[in-house]
Structure 1
Amino acid sequence: MSRYQVMFKQLSLLKEGCFIPFVVLGDPSLEISIKIIDTLIQNGADALEIGIPFSDPLADGPIIQKSNLRALSNKNTFLEYFKILKKIRSKNKRLPIGILIYANLIYNQGINNFYFQCLNSGIDSVLIADVPIEESKIFYKTANKYQINSIFICPPNADDNFLYNISLYAQGFIYVLSRSGVTGIDKKTLSLSRQFIKNIKKYNSIPLLQGFGISNSTQVKKAISLGLSGIICGSAIINIIEKNLNEEEIMIEKIKKFTNLLKSSTKLE
């Protein structure tokens, strides 16, 4: 079984949902980024979704856009990113680790070389934020060659034809969007309909994770109650980083508390 399959099976036995934090690698620096990732793992992250910095992250709102720019300002190389990912893997043998990236970065590395580096660094999955299923075949084929799961995004207004197509390709989990648009913190309780979740499940049994706008325990509990397998949270964590750029100890402590809160909210009562 893959690391994702093992993780979801274990969480099911424990009657817990999955909590996956998202951060951009190298924000605010590679050194602090490693400390943040270690803090997330030590305080309840079931898996990781790590963004590779990009200058024009179209799927992301202002919080994650600024995170990308802070990371890019450090002028780290792809080689450095993969070295860090390899170190994270060496310390966490069983933890599923996914990358979120944009297509231009993969083209610049060479598709085959990129996926080979993912394999070499112990990466489990790749989500290409700006490549729809219809245009994914060349990436999908190469990912499969190196046993890397391809993660796809499902919008909240997907029709049956889309749900059928995603069921043919989905691996690891399906990233179900809370809403259309870009990432960000939303104070409202974002809720997908129970019927929509049932519609997705008609076509496959792969775990469903809700992302976009998840920032509090109420939203997490609602997602789990609807039959989703867990949540992905990015902007709320990165907002803590942004608000405490010059106070590293305070930043780490706040991330620790927030991670504990969201993970505890995934536990079914």
Structure 2
Amino acid sequence: MTRIDAKFAKLRAEGKKAFVSYVMAGDPDVPTSLDLVKGLPAAGVDIIELGLPFTDPMADGPTIQEAGQRALAGHMTLDKTLQMVRDFRADDDETPIVMMGYYNPIYSRGVDRFLSQAKEAGIDGLIIVDLPPEEDDELCIPAQKAGLNFIRLATPTTDDKRLPKVLENTSGFVYYVSITGITGAAEAQAEDVAPEVARIKSQTDLPVIVGFGIKTPAASESIAAIADGCVVGSAIVSEMAKGKAVSEVLDFVKTLADGAHRA
């Protein structure tokens, strides 16, 4: 059982929905980013998605693209991202961390070497948005064998014919993308998302977590209410981009987490 599996079991036992937060590693710099990540669990975050900066983030909207550019301008690397996780794990051995990013940096490192380093650092799962199920032998299957969950995205365009393929080797949870398009674009609507979540849940026992387009505590609550939890990314990254103190950003995160936990 991974930390992700254990976290969902604990939430189920407590009758709570999951709140997942996305932050970009190294934005605006490593010390500030690490302070933010370390503060997330106390702000109510159940699972941390840690973005790996990449030069060509095709699924990301302007907010997260710019966060990645700030991180890269500050010389953020895969090695420094792994070290951030180690530093976090020095004080927290319970909160799951999912690395979210693109395949190129992993391919460049070498899959076996990367998985060994990720596992040793304390990463629990991967979301690699540019590897389709047809490429599962490339990273998904090796990751599962190494003890990491491989979390797949389902979208509004994932039809009934495609869905079983998407779910086939997915573990940890299913990430449902609530809107078509890039991150940080339109706002998610619970009435649109609910039938899709029900459709996915009819095909898998995995938790279904909804992300994209969730920007407020009210939206966090309404979306978590029709799923097993929600993800907020761009809204949090936007607060960092304004140059706010980490404590102010964490206060904002807590309002979002409280919303999800009310669901």
TM-score by length of 1: 0.92
Contact persistence 1:40–1:255 (CA under 8 A): no
Would you say 1:161 and 2:161 are equivalent positions? yes
Alignment gaps of 5+ in structure 1: 245-249
> Are positions 1:260 and 2:254 aligned together?
yes
- With over 3 angstroms needed to count, the CA separation of the structure-2 counterparts of 1:81 and 1:197, relative to structure 1, is closer
SS in structure 2 of the partner of residue 49 of structure 1: strand
Match of 2:68 in 1: 68
Give the equivalent residue in structure 1 for 2:44: 44
Q: Are the aligned partners of 2:126 and 2:150 in contact in 1 as well (CA < 8 Å)?
A: yes
Are 2:188 and 2:212, in contact at CA under 8 Å, matched by a contact in 1? no
Aligned positions of 1:84-163 closer than 5 A: 84-163=84-163
Structure 1 letter corresponding to 2:237: I
Q: Show CA shifts across 1:70-120 (max 9, x none).
A: 000111333222111111122211111110121111111011111111111
Give unmatched runs, 5+ long, in structure 2: none
Paired residues of 1:25 and 1:50 also in contact (CA < 8 A) = yes
Partner of 1:77: 77
> Retained in 2: the 8 A contact 1:178–1:191?
no
Partner of 2:245: 251
Q: What is the distance in 2 between the residues matched to 1:262 and 1:68?
A: 23
Alpha-carbon separation, structure 2, partners of 1:205 and 1:77: 36
Q: CA deviation at 1:185?
A: 5.1
**1:41 shift after superposition:** 2.0
The CA distance in 1 between the partners of 2:67 and 2:191, in whole Å, is: 26
Deviations 1:222-267 (A, max 9, x none): 21222x11111110001001111xxxxx432321221111111122
* Offset at residue 187 of structure 1 (A): 5.0
User: Taking structure 1 as reference, are residues 76 and 199 closer, same or farther at Cα in structure 2, changes over 3 Å only?
Assistant: closer
Cα distance in 2 for residues equivalent to 1:217 and 1:8? 21
| Identical pairs, percent | 29
Shift of 1:124: 0.5
Q: Deviations over 1:128-153 (max 9, x none)?
A: 11111122322012112211111100
**For the residues of structure 2 that align with 1:185 and 1:242, how far apart are their CA atoms?**
17
Equivalent pair of 2:174/2:208 in contact (CA under 8 Å): yes
Matches within 5 A, 1:172-191: 172-184=172-184, 186=186, 189=189, 191=191
Over aligned residue pairs, what C-alpha RMSD do you find? 1.6
SS of 1:265's partner is helix
Q: How many residues align?
A: 263
User: Deviations along 1:160-196, whole A, 9 cap, x unmatched?
Assistant: 1222122221100001001111001545646534322
DSSP-derived class of the 1:175 partner: strand
CA distance in 2, matches of 1:175, 1:28: 26
In structure 2, the residue matched to 1:236 is 235
- The TM-score with structure 2 as length reference comes to 0.94
